[in-house]
Structure 1
């Protein structure tokens, strides 16, 4: 992990802007606390001792590198391109989230903070942060929408077992957006004690770049692994996008490779014609949300819209500003998968490969199911399997029973 200072068009400038997106539009009382995070991250990024400690934890604690697995059965079932899965589901805690949570926890301890606080949707970020906090000796507080608390109960139990305080957010839509609002409110009241460990490539500068940097190990590994397996780069990368951390983690190492197609898949929910979706890149417009200028799903009054997805981790009305910039530059394409398509992909991967994916990751699998048959047999697709589906099995069983 190193902080990037290149003048690449795909990177932020010194003020955290990816073109017109990003920045840190904050109330005055948060300007200095967030600026402190930016300063300390810059120092840590340049400190070999910090990087050595972080890399050692990735290999000896998380279990990196994660596998790049050729899904031979799924490939044969679909026909067409070879489908590889980047197995972030095999990481300790079961998802990609541990990659940046360890980095944020180490940074918080370096800054002398005693507590980390964050939002979570599906609970994977919360579990990963609670794990990292326990490891480095920090207190942990996780805010989670009441709907997600009920939907993702196993992860709530895990967080509490790890010593975290879990706050159920009852306001508004009771999902991820409200969890962010709630956690920000507590952090704003006591930034001297708390470190806000944002769970995606969203929020004010430096978080979109910092979280991407911590997640970039995914793409660096995948690049080396596919070159070893195939002797060339892939034709397409596919990853689910809510805030967009797992996607940026995979995409980052390939941004300068114009021959590699980059596809983000966001939730179409129950359909784009209504309001029960979270298709920010598809239907959103530029706006402000949680300390950043990005694409936002907004109502007629300019307020963030209520959103929906079968996957709690990506039902967010905004998106990381770097994703908005990549779309604007034409470097990445953003498509959607419905709840029904996602549920079908979940079952297909489970039954063909014996791998139970998270519902978030199943959005990416759903698009691979569409894309692979349209490509020649020598084409290569990498799907970021960002998390495992243990947390989702009870919910999926209920949905399938309702359909029976």
Structure 2
């Protein structure tokens, strides 16, 4: 999957203007060529090894395992160059843009990890880079904004609506529509019109391919459970896709229930409470307001406040192959500190949602192994966490 028209069951496709569809067809053809090109694959593999630092290791979190009563393992994507899984597909998209003769990469970012990764890839291959980011997230994720600017990217604030991730996507799409010929919109997740959901998944599948081999080498078997957070869903699809045929492996996607799952605008639990709809050029589950438009959403994690989700996730929900649960802000922050203080690993708040869900599985009686994707490190979140939650955990700001 997907089929030739970009559908995963009834989800996906390409709902864009005809003039942009011609560009998408060009991108799709170029990607099909690249993924069969030994030179392209060799160059990407070289960069993964010598630039990103892959393979990222699996770590047995023994202290957490002993406390919660289940074997817990972390796929350490936080150790990648730039600090998250985003570099995996950004390098692929940057190389593709060069092949297409583009001059600039543009993208949206929420937490800033995709923006940093794309700015890094653009600098490496010699392309200009524009990053659209919600004004709220620019203030919240200031360290990543500084990193993007050091790398030479132009950070452009999205100032409408809630000024977060959805608005950043709106602004980036508008800029792309104005000039799709000289720039490539390097979409930051498994969302958007075909071929991006499949292309980003394929670049991210290195996570699952490595994890499958590493876990078997470490334990002699496959994990009983996989856990990853789901915003747009790229880190989750990167891990999940390689295990979908292994029926003995239970797969769990984790959405943000924010401040209140039952109040509109206070969560971003798309698969839990959404319904099918079309936005940003693709069909998937979507949180809608009373007029059928994208609902305002919220999460303590800037990378998760998006009112839709990758179409393959929608398909996997409907088929029942993946169980999609949710974690609220408090549970995520508690897990942020639990992992930090028991294992010496400070996670991104996004990744802390997956940590919280894994701990919940263990507390509810799961005794089998749990492999979770620790997709990013928490450097970007430290100032925000200390300011808003530090006193609850005995931390006084020194600023």
Range of TM-score over shorter length: over 0.9
Residue number in structure 1 paired with 2:251: 262
Residue number in structure 2 paired with 1:138: 127
Residue number in structure 2 paired with 1:84: 73
Is 1:230 aligned with 2:200?
A: no
Residue number in structure 2 paired with 1:299: 289
Question: What is the distance in 2 between the residues matched to 1:295 and 1:341?
Answer: 24
Residue number in structure 2 paired with 1:289: 279
Q: TM-score, normalised by structure 1?
A: 0.96
Is 1:33 aligned with 2:47?
A: no
Is 1:21 aligned with 2:11?
A: yes
TM-superposed deviation, 1:187: 0.8
Match of 1:71 among 41, 55, 61: 61
TM-superposed deviation, 1:401: 4.2
Residue number in structure 2 paired with 1:162: 151
Residue number in structure 2 paired with 1:330: 320
TM-superposed deviation, 1:373: 3.2
Stretch moving more, 115-124 or 364-373: 364-373
TM-superposed deviation, 1:35: 1.3
Query: What SS does the corresponding residue of 2:20 show, helix, strand or coil?
Result: helix
TM-superposed deviation, 1:376: 5.7
The answer to whether the 8 A contact 1:29-1:188 is kept is: no
TM-superposed deviation, 1:201: 0.2
Residue number in structure 2 paired with 1:357: 347
Query: What SS does the corresponding residue of 2:190 show, helix, strand or coil?
Result: coil
Q: TM-score, normalised by structure 2?
A: 0.97
TM-superposed deviation, 1:336: 0.3
Is 1:315 aligned with 2:305?
A: yes
Residue number in structure 2 paired with 1:55: 45
Residue number in structure 2 paired with 1:153: 142
TM-superposed deviation, 1:270: 0.5
Summarize the Cα distance change of 1:382–1:142 in structure 2 as closer, same or farther, 3 Å threshold. same
TM-superposed deviation, 1:375: 4.1
1:119-138 counterparts in 2 under 5 A?
A: 119-138=108-127
Query: What SS does the corresponding residue of 1:84 show, helix, strand or coil?
Result: strand
Summarize the Cα distance change of 1:297–1:156 in structure 2 as closer, same or farther, 3 Å threshold. same
TM-superposed deviation, 1:145: 0.4
Residue number in structure 2 paired with 1:390: 379
The answer to whether the 8 A contact 1:238-1:382 is kept is: yes
Query: What SS does the corresponding residue of 2:218 show, helix, strand or coil?
Result: helix
Deviations 1:129-162 (A, max 9, x none): 0000000000000000000000000100000000
Question: What is the distance in 2 between the residues matched to 1:323 and 1:402?
Answer: 37
Query: What SS does the corresponding residue of 2:87 show, helix, strand or coil?
Result: helix
Match of 2:268 among 269, 278, 291: 278
Summarize the Cα distance change of 1:185–1:108 in structure 2 as closer, same or farther, 3 Å threshold. same
Query: What SS does the corresponding residue of 1:69 show, helix, strand or coil?
Result: strand
TM-superposed deviation, 1:310: 0.4
Match of 1:113 among 102, 106, 130: 102
Residue number in structure 1 paired with 2:396: none
The structure 1 segments of at least 4 consecutive aligned residues displaced by more than 4 Å after TM superposition are 401-404
Q: Which ranges in structure 2 are unaligned for 5 or more consecutive residues?
A: 394-399
TM-superposed deviation, 1:91: 0.1
Deviations 1:3-40 (A, max 9, x none): xxxxxxxx211110000000001122211111111111
Question: What is the distance in 2 between the residues matched to 1:30 and 1:278?
Answer: 29
- The two structures, once aligned, show a CA RMSD in angstroms of 1.0
Residue number in structure 2 paired with 1:7: none
